[in-house]
């Protein structure tokens, strides 16, 4: 047996013993040993994509939803560099990716050899761990090295306290395909009882206990863990819950869905200064919320890894792996004040959306309400996630996800497909037109590839709508070309090119019927950029006018 085949077979086998079930492959020559090993093992589900960036985000979506490592394989050269955006997102959002890049052997590096670049620590500090595996050789001791390395890589990617991407660079000499010989100088088999190394994780330290108070607030940002536990505790303590959509804490009687507008009112924000704020995940959508956090007397950040914690406002007073929110007796004036203001603002916002016709905020609100229990909604990181934050009512039974680690628009179609393939139920995505076009290659699935049940809802305003919400919109003549970036693409033709079913929505009441069905499909919602900006402005004005009636 040639060494490349031996290493690849052992590595794949040991990763499966560790718990691996999904492999994403971008095809190439130097990665042939890994590709053939993954294809040959029936214990794996293999996904093949021709575009490395799409492949990487597909793996990211799979790993994000499954919450376990997914292997990502490519050949040498710039193929590996195309993984970088997804690796950065996985690093920032704590997604367990295991990146296996094939490489040329050392004697070819720096010689001008074809498809050979410096891949050592290619992803820099954006991975949790890197290992240069070394050219495989037929000599005793290699199998123990390969299997222990596989276990270490899998466990470091998985966390569990600090999951994230791990990079193994594998240099292969030819031959790269099996030669029909099964002989090797030592047994290639692993431990019959499981992984070569079985790790044990120490229990987290004792939870931080908070002094009893009714004037507390739970803030839930993207990527939060143990959300149900903390939302239940906040409910028992009489605290309001301010949850971003992808925090998945916006449900129940304590959910305050209009916090962005409430905290934008200075009088309300000052009157609702809390004794303590507990933050889960990474809040970052609402500037009024972030400004309000800066003024908190006590701000406790809950983070699994005490070497890395989210604190964009630098207002944290304590960081803990777990917090005990005390149940306190007393009146509910604090919570009722938040709830009354929230209901008033929500009614005012809904009146604006109902009277404005088709708009992006209304599409977000209606989609969030229409989806069945057990559904998953993947959100684009630009305006769609913000429209959901501003317009979505509290509800149960819906899982929301987004690539909010680095908040890029790249790879969202592929990430949504990956998440759909890992989800046991119907999946949907809400993305803008530029986000959709940026990853249109994600729609290219070979005839033998697993097919997702995913409805891609594309809000098409012919350009970069979020820039119309920023100061750049006042620049005049340069704005439309440099920031608005109209594209004029007919999404129906693009859908036809990939054989993807397509529906176009013109009126709000057409959305519920358009999203029905199964399999991969596209629903285009045509909107007007300027009109949607105006609607968002009226939403804010209506919410603030409602607060005025309450004395704020």
Q: Is the pLDDT of residue 204 over 80?
A: no
Looking at the chain, the whole-number percentage of residues with pLDDT higher than 70 is 99
- Token digits of residue 250: 């916006």
The arithmetic mean of pLDDT across residues 482-510, rounded, is 93
Question: What mean pLDDT, rounded, does the chain reach?
Answer: 94
When pLDDT is cut at 50, 70 and 90, the band that residue 201 belongs to is: low
Q: Is the pLDDT of residue 23 over 70?
A: yes
* Lowest mean pLDDT, pick from 49-63, 116-130, 295-309, 364-378: 295-309
pLDDT of residue 481: 77
pLDDT of residue 328: 81
The arithmetic mean of pLDDT across residues 279-293, rounded, is 95
pLDDT of residue 468: 73
Q: Where are the domains of the chain?
A: 3-171, 208-342, 360-527
Domains 208-342 and 360-527 share a fold: yes
When pLDDT is cut at 50, 70 and 90, the band that residue 14 belongs to is: very high
When pLDDT is cut at 50, 70 and 90, the band that residue 193 belongs to is: confident
* φ/ψ bin of 345: left (φ > 0), alpha (ψ from -120 to 50), beta (otherwise): alpha
Model pLDDT for residues 429-445, shown as the tens digit of each residue: 999 999 999 999 999 99
The arithmetic mean of pLDDT across residues 491-508, rounded, is 96
Whether domain 208-342 has CATH 3.20.20.390: the reply is no
pLDDT of residue 192: 78
DSSP state of 113: -
| Burial environment of residue 179 by CB neighbours within 10 A (0 to 12, 13 to 18, 19 or more) | exposed
* Lowest mean pLDDT, pick from 66-80, 137-151, 303-317, 446-460: 303-317
DSSP H or E stretch at residue 73? strand 70-74
3-state secondary structure of 95: coil
When pLDDT is cut at 50, 70 and 90, the band that residue 205 belongs to is: low
- Token digits of residue 75: 């050949």
Q: Is the pLDDT of residue 86 over 70?
A: yes
Q: Is the pLDDT of residue 483 over 90?
A: no
Model pLDDT for residues 224-281, shown as the tens digit of each residue: 999 999 999 999 999 999 999 999 999 999 999 999 999 999 999 999 999 999 999 9
Residue, of 83 and 199, whose pLDDT is higher = 83
Model pLDDT for residues 209-219, shown as the tens digit of each residue: 998 888 999 99
When pLDDT is cut at 50, 70 and 90, the band that residue 337 belongs to is: very high
3-state secondary structure of 196: coil
CB under 8 Å to 121, separation ≥6 — which residues?
130, 167
pLDDT of residue 293: 94
Q: Is the pLDDT of residue 200 over 80?
A: no
Spatial separation of the C-alpha atoms in residues 171 and 169, rounded to whole Å: 7
CA atoms within 13 A on the CB side of 347: 9
On whether the CB atoms of residues 430 and 398 are closer than 8 A, the answer is no
When pLDDT is cut at 50, 70 and 90, the band that residue 510 belongs to is: very high
Looking at the chain, the whole-number percentage of residues with pLDDT higher than 90 is 84
The domain 3-171 is placed in CATH, from the list 3.40.50.970, 3.40.1190.20, 3.40.50.1110, 3.30.930.10, at 3.40.50.970
How far lies 478's CA from each of 14, 264, 482, 483, 484, in Å? 56, 30, 6, 8, 9
pLDDT of residue 482: 78
pLDDT of residue 327: 87
On whether the CB atoms of residues 400 and 428 are closer than 8 A, the answer is no
pLDDT of residue 202: 57
pTM metric for this prediction: 0.94
- Token digits of residue 362: 């209304």
pLDDT of residue 203: 62
The arithmetic mean of pLDDT across residues 66-90, rounded, is 97
Q: Is the pLDDT of residue 184 over 60?
A: yes
DSSP H or E stretch at residue 260? helix 259-262
The arithmetic mean of pLDDT across residues 378-395, rounded, is 95
Sheet architecture: strand order including 454-460: 398-402, 375-379, 427-432, 454-460, 521-526, 502-505
Per DSSP, the residues of 485-500 read: ------HHHHHHHTT-
The arithmetic mean of pLDDT across residues 100-111, rounded, is 94
CA-nearest of 79, 100, 213, 93 to 146 is: 100
Assign a CATH topology to domain 360-527.
Rossmann fold (3.40.50)
């Amino acid at each position: 047996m040639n060494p490349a085949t031996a290493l690849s077979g052992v590595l794949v086998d040991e990763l499966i013993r560790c718990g691996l079930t999904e492999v994403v492959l971008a095809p190439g020559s130097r990665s042939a040993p890994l590709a053939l090993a993954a294809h040959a093992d029936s214990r794996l589900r293999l996904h093949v994509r021709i575009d490395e960036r799409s492949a990487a985000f597909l793996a990211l979506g799979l790993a994000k939803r499954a919450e376990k490592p997914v292997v990502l394989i490519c050949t040498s050269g710039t193929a590996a560099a195309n993984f970088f955006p997804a690796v950065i997102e996985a690093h920032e959002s704590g997604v367990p990716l295991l990146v296996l890049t094939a490489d040329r052997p050392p004697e070819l590096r720096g010689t001008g050899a074809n498809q050979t670049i410096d891949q050592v620590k290619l992803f820099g500090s954006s991975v949790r761990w890197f290992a240069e595996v070394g050219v495989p050789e037929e000599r005793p001791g290699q199998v123990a090295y390969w299997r222990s390395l596989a276990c270490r890589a899998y466990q470091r990617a998985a966390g569990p306290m600090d999951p994230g991407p791990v990079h193994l660079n594998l240099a292969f000499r030819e031959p790269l395909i099996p030669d029909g010989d099964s002989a090797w100088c030592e047994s290639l088999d692993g431990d019959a009882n499981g992984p070569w190394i079985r790790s044990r994780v120490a229990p987290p330290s004792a939870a931080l206990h908070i002094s009893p108070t009714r004037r507390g607030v739970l803030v839930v940002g993207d990527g939060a863990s143990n959300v149900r536990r903390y939302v239940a505790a906040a409910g028992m303590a009489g605290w309001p819950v301010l949850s971003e959509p992808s925090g998945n804490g916006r449900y129940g009687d304590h959910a305050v869905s209009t916090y962005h507008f409430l905290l934008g009112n200075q009088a309300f924000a000052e009157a609702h200064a809390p004794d303590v704020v507990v933050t889960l995940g990474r809040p970052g959508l609402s500037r009024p919320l972030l400004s309000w956090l800066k003024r908190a007397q006590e701000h406790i950040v809950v983070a699994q890894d005490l070497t890395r914690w989210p604190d964009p406002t630098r207002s944290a007073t304590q960081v803990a792996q777990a917090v005990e929110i005390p149940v306190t007796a007393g009146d509910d004036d604090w919570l009722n004040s938040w709830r009354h203001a929230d209901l008033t603002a929500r009614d005012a916002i809904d009146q604006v959306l109902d009277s404005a016709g088709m708009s992006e905020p209304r599409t977000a609100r209606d989609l969030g309400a229409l989806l069945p229990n057990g559904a998953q909604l993947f959100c684009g990181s630009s305006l769609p996630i913000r429209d959901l934050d501003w317009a979505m009512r509290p509800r149960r039974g819906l899982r929301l996800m987004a690539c909010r680690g680095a908040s890029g628009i790249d790879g969202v179609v592929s990430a949504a497909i990956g998440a759909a393939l890992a989800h046991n139920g119907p999946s949907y995505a809400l993305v803008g037109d530029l986000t959709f076009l940026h990853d249109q290659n994600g729609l290219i699935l070979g005839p033998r590839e697993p097919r997702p049940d995913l409805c891609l809802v594309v809000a098409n305003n012919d350009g970069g709508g979020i820039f119309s919400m920023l100061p750049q919109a006042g620049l005049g003549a340069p704005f439309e070309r440099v920031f608005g970036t109209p594209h004029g693409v007919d999404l129906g033709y693009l859908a036809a090119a990939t054989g993807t079913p397509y529906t176009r929505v013109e009126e709000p009441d057409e959305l519920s019927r358009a999203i029905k069905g199964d399999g991969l499909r596209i629903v285009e919602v045509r909107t007007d950029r300027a009109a949607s900006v105006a609607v968002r402005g009226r939403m804010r004005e209506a919410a603030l006018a409602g607060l005025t009636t309450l004395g704020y």
